[in-house]
């Protein structure tokens, strides 16, 4: 049995779009709740690590982003800021002027 394809009417398109809009709004509400709960869990974890002296904290001198890293053997301390990709090392390398050789 072959079905004939036809164009959707404007009313059908609007109904379909409204359904998609409602689905997106529900998804956004779910994600907002999920992110809020994850943020709470992260805060608890950071406080526990802080209290145990197992949290390495560094603020990026370039963008001000706070980088928190647990101090465990298998987790390396980052050298670059995850927000701006610049070095977290605040020391500046200087170039010395070339000395002229005396003859």
CA distance 44 to 50: 10
Predicted pLDDT at 6: 87
Report which of 70, 21, 64 is spatially closest to residue 42, judged by C-alpha positions. 70
Are residues 81 and 88 in contact, defined by beta-carbon separation less than 8 angstroms? yes
Are residues 67 and 79 in contact, defined by beta-carbon separation less than 8 angstroms? no
Residue 5: pLDDT band (50, 70, 90) is: confident
- Beta-bridged to residue 87, according to DSSP, are 80
- Beta-bridged to residue 70, according to DSSP, are 55
CA distance 22 to 11: 17
pLDDT in tens, 19-71: 999 999 999 999 999 999 999 999 999 999 999 999 999 999 999 999 999 99
pLDDT in tens, 55-65: 999 999 999 99
Predicted pLDDT at 102: 59
Predicted pLDDT at 14: 96
CA distance 103 to 100: 9
Rg, C-alpha atoms of the chain: 28
- Beta-bridged to residue 80, according to DSSP, are 87
């Amino acid at each position: 049995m072959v079905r004939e394809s036809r164009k959707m009417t404007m009313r059908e398109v609007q109904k379909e779009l409204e359904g998609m809009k409602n689905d997106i709004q529900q998804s956004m509400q779910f994600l907002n709740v999920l992110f809020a709960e994850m943020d709470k869990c992260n805060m608890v974890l950071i406080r526990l690590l802080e209290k145990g002296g197992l949290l390495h904290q560094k603020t990026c001198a370039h963008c001000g982003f706070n980088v928190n890293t647990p101090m465990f053997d298998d987790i390396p301390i980052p050298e670059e800021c995850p927000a701006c990709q610049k070095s977290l090392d605040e020391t500046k390398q200087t170039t010395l002027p070339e000395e002229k050789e005396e003859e």
